[in-house]
Structure 1
Amino acid sequence: MKRKLPNITSKIPPVVAMAAILLLWELVSISGLVPSYMLPSPVAVCKALIGDLPTILFHAKFTLLESFYGLLIGIALAFIFATVMDRFRVMDQAFYPIMIITQTIPTIAIAPILVLWMGFGMAPKITLVVITTFFPITIGLLDGYKSVDPDAIRLMKAMGAGRMQIFRHVKFPSALPQFFSGLKISASYAVVGAVVSEWLGGFNGLGVYMTRVKKAYAFDKMFAVIIFIVIISLLLLFIVNVASRIAMPWLQVEKEKNHE
């Protein structure tokens, strides 16, 4: 019971804050300070979300596929680049500035070029997701590799361990916390990147649906899609948290010991 009490009390502030935001939103809508067609009430948005849910789910299927494929490719590329950059200093010096440059270019500026090169299919959307998710994971892994205790590496070498054994038993496990920190950021970026790319062209997806309802001035449906995207992003973060607990059970044990 003592362990559960801090968990329950820690959830009260965000719930109260969210309730206050919704209440303020409702009051502003009712008061008429902002026209209802520009800022629909939370009730109207919920009705639009429930009423248009089948259509939203249909378009969400394409956005989630683009996000999943892009995130998967981003993780694979990040692992390869971070490992090579950690192994070869010259590669670190060569590629690190290039990765920084890729993050200074707004995604909204890259998307039209990708659509022009790759068409209106899934390819430009997946590519944009890869670009937006690649950097946080790479930097997380790279920092994790560099933060390994040198004494642990020396001990492994003294015991006759090879480079692959040191990487498998010391470097990679030590980099997992930073990897999952980067993955949390990338998971939220993945959906946003896919939606942004869909704004500029395509046949299906939440971004395409948002463009259509915006042109129809159906702002209640527009807000409904935004809330749906927020829910998807929160679910992805939850999945990443669960995966991190499974991959790093020792951290959970340490937390439980600290609470005792």
Structure 2
Amino acid sequence: MRKSKSIADKLIPPACILLILAVWEGGVRWLAIPEWILPGPVRIARTFAGTLPLMLKHGQTTMAECLVGFVAAIILAFMIALVMDEITPVKKAVYPIMVASQTVPIISVAPLFIIWFGYGVLPKIIVVILVCFFPIASSLLGGLAGVDREYLELFRSMGAGRLQTLRMVKLPLALPAFFSGLKISASYSVMGAVIGEWLGAKEGLGTYMTLSQHSFQVDRVFAAIVAITLLSFALVAAVGWAERMVIPWSRLRDE
């Protein structure tokens, strides 16, 4: 019974997607909507296949920006979250600034990075860091703060120092929250890179979308959206795989 329910749960999402695509394709054909306004899924799939070599070239640039910015955000957020957790005055001083930074639309500050650092990859990496930093830092900080005090007192009563307690108790128990933040940031990283490319770049899926939009090639815009979605799924899946490797007990808990 449980096995059949599990199979049904796995089939429901793709079935819903196929239904949406079928309604979309049928609606476009029935209403005779021009392709330059709204192409159907079949047309988008053909365009995606036909422009795959070009999109792979642009996608490599976007992926490189995502990975570098994402890794930098992880390192920065991890270090700052640990310091904030250990030193309360730092947490009280820095956390409001972190929250306030999220109220500023990234699209409004990204042009400044273009002015300051030019049209290279650095402005895109900075944008990726900005959009990824807060979910990672806040998730890890919440995980560290949520550790049961009884565990901490038990280890301290056994003579464990702060570093040992952090390494053997707090970090392992905070890892599920940390990986939750990583999954959110993984999808944000692609968005951040694309936003940076919209504002000025020589290559990248954001640049490809902008050029296609200016030439009214809507099918190519949708094909780029598909590529961006696939990149996001790939990054989230990679984080999920890393989570299962690092904390295998989370998989047992979900089951």
Task: Decide: shared fold, TM above 0.5.
Answer: yes
Structure-1-length-normalised TM-score? 0.95
CA displacement at 1:255 relative to structure 2? 4.2
Q: How high is the sequence identity, in percent, across the aligned residues?
A: 43
Counterpart of 1:221?
A: 220
Structure 2: 5+ residue runs without aligned partners? none
Q: Which amino acid aligns with 1:219?
A: V
Counterpart of 1:59?
A: 58
CA displacement at 1:201 relative to structure 2? 0.4
Partner Cα distance (1:84, 1:159) in 2: 24
Partner Cα distance (1:37, 1:228) in 2: 19
1:106 paired with 2:99, answer no
Counterpart of 1:175?
A: 174
Partner Cα distance (1:106, 1:253) in 2: 39
Counterpart of 2:157?
A: 158
Counterpart of 1:69?
A: 68
1:196 paired with 2:195, answer yes
Partner Cα distance (1:209, 1:250) in 2: 42
Question: Deviation per CA, 1:200-256, whole angstroms, max 9, x where unpaired?
Answer: 101111111111111111111110010111111111111111111111112233445
SS of the residue aligned with 2:200?
coil
Question: Deviation per CA, 1:79-98, whole angstroms, max 9, x where unpaired?
Answer: 01110110111111111111
Asked if the contact 2:176/2:250 (under 8 Å) is kept, the reply is no
SS of the residue aligned with 2:141?
helix
Q: Which amino acid aligns with 2:31?
A: G
Structure 1: 5+ residue runs without aligned partners? none
Counterpart of 2:93?
A: 94
The size of the alignment, in residue pairs, is: 255
Question: Deviation per CA, 1:96-139, whole angstroms, max 9, x where unpaired?
Answer: 11111111111111111111111000000000000000000000
Asked if the contact 2:35/2:219 (under 8 Å) is kept, the reply is no
What's the RMSD between the two structures over aligned residues?
Answer: 1.2
1:43 paired with 2:55, answer no
Asked if the contact 2:195/2:206 (under 8 Å) is kept, the reply is yes
CA displacement at 1:33 relative to structure 2? 5.7
Counterpart of 1:24?
A: 23
Counterpart of 2:124?
A: 125
Partner Cα distance (1:252, 1:113) in 2: 43
Counterpart of 1:137?
A: 136
Question: Deviation per CA, 1:54-91, whole angstroms, max 9, x where unpaired?
Answer: 00000000100000000001000100111011011111
Partner Cα distance (2:24, 2:253) in 1: 41
SS of the residue aligned with 1:104?
coil
- Between 18-27 and 62-71, the greater mean CA deviation after superposition: 18-27
Q: Which amino acid aligns with 1:216?
A: S
SS of the residue aligned with 1:38?
coil
Asked if the contact 2:74/2:133 (under 8 Å) is kept, the reply is yes
Q: Which amino acid aligns with 2:207?
A: V
Partner Cα distance (2:129, 2:3) in 1: 39
SS of the residue aligned with 2:102?
helix
Q: Which amino acid aligns with 1:144?
A: G
